[in-house]
């Protein structure tokens, strides 16, 4: 999985609780991403970060929060405001090319399957 680790692999929570998913990379990549994958749908971007202490909302950021205090870490918090949090969550990273453009290649972690009941 290209030097990206996500933990835990499976996570169970009760409705109304916040939960934080871990993502760590040792590839020295500048950019990191969080995606959500649901059955029958393509991956959807939640948040991304191109540099430490900076991040931007993706297409479905509502109910989620992130931080980027270290280059190698990009944790995602699923808050109680997320109406349908049960899903497979994927973290990815890529290098930053000269001029700020993001590299073509994104490396994905193994994913965390979150189930909220």
Partner 1 sequence: KNQVEQSPQSLIILEGKNCTLQCNYTVSPFSNLRWYKQDTGRGPVSLTIMTFSENTKSNGRYTATLDADTKQSSLHITASQLSDSASYICVVSAMAPDKLIFGTGTRLQVFP
List of residues contacting partner 1 (CB under 8 A): 1-2, 4, 6, 40-45, 88, 90, 92, 101-102, 104-111, 113
What are residue 48's DSSP bridge partners?
33, 56
Shortest reach from residue 111's CB to partner 1, in Å: 5
Shortest reach from residue 85's CB to partner 1, in Å: 18
3-state helix, strand, coil in the chain (%, to 5): 5, 50, 45
Which one, 73 or 79, has the nearer CB to partner 1?
Answer: 73
């Amino acid at each position: 999985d290209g030097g990206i680790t996500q933990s835990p692999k499976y996570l169970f929570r009760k409705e109304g609780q916040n939960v934080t998913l871990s993502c760590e990379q040792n590839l020295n990549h500048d950019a990191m991403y969080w995606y959500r994958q649901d059955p029958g749908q393509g991956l959807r971007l939640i948040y991304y970060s191109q540099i430490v202490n900076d991040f931007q909302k993706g297409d479905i950021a509502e109910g989620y929060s992130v931080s980027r205090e270290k280059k190698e870490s990009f944790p995602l918090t699923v808050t109680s405001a997320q109406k349908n949090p049960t899903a497979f969550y994927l973290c990815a990273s890529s290098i930053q090319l000269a001029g700020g453009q993001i590299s073509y290649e994104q490396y994905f972690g193994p994913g965390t399957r979150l189930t909220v009941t």
